[in-house]
Amino acid sequence: MGGIGRPGRDGLWLWRHPRPVGAAGRCIGRTDLALDPRRAKRLAHRIRRCAHHHGLPRVVWTSPLRRCADVGRWLARWGWRHHIDARLLELDFGRWDGRPWADIPWAEVAAWEADFCGHAPGGGEALADLRTRCTAFCADRAATAEPVLVVAHAGWVNAARLGPAAALSAHAWPAAPGYGALVRLASPASRQNRPCTSPS
């Protein structure tokens, strides 16, 4: 049950959702892919064991999309509180969403890389907006002074890993955590905000 950056019991306990059905080779943001119930239940079991071992609250937060929410629904069956929050949604890729990456014109991808934080890929949502959502959620949860357990999307996890103080550029964006991986972080809410930058 390894994690990345282990700050202690408090802070954020972020699990990336399990591998959904039909994601391979496609640009997936808000596309609501199905999740094999066995995978959802398996990750829910791991989260439950982790919470028991570390004395964590039996409360989980997820995005509304099935690949996250289905894990929370399993935990709710076992007596947990399951909260759904739209601020935990993955980046909206607009007209790219759901399409094979091979079908997206390279010029559009290059335009995003040139203004990685401010450009909205596919006319959807800019990473600056994702980071704003992430920071707002973390600030709200930090006010409770309790560990926060989240089943999240890769883009959201990376935004939390970098925090609001980090300059964003395509070459500095972290690799996605593995499906079902645990990432442990101190809450980024206390870090100062800093403008996004484009790669030089």
Is 55 domain-assigned? yes
For residue range 91-133, list pLDDT tens digits in order.
999 999 999 999 999 999 999 999 999 999 999 999 999 999 9
For residue range 15-50, list pLDDT tens digits in order.
999 999 999 999 999 999 999 999 999 999 999 999
> Under a CB-based contact definition with an 8 Å cutoff, are residues 71 and 17 in contact?
yes
Is 7 domain-assigned? no
- The parent domain of residue 109 ranges over 12-190
Whole-structure pTM over 0.85, yes or no? yes
Is 195 domain-assigned? no
Domain count, the chain: 1
Is 2 domain-assigned? no
Is 197 domain-assigned? no
Q: Give the phi and the psi of residue 73 in degrees, each rounded to 5.
A: -70, -35
Which residues are CB-neighbours of 97 under 8 A, at least 6 positions away? Answer: 27, 28, 29, 30, 31, 122, 124
Is 198 domain-assigned? no
Is 196 domain-assigned? no
For residue 2, pLDDT over 70 is answered with no
Is 87 domain-assigned? yes
Average pLDDT over residues 137-164: 92
Which residues are CB-neighbours of 167 under 8 A, at least 6 positions away? Answer: 194, 195, 196, 197
Looking up residue 165, the CATH number of its domain turns out to be: 3.40.50.1240
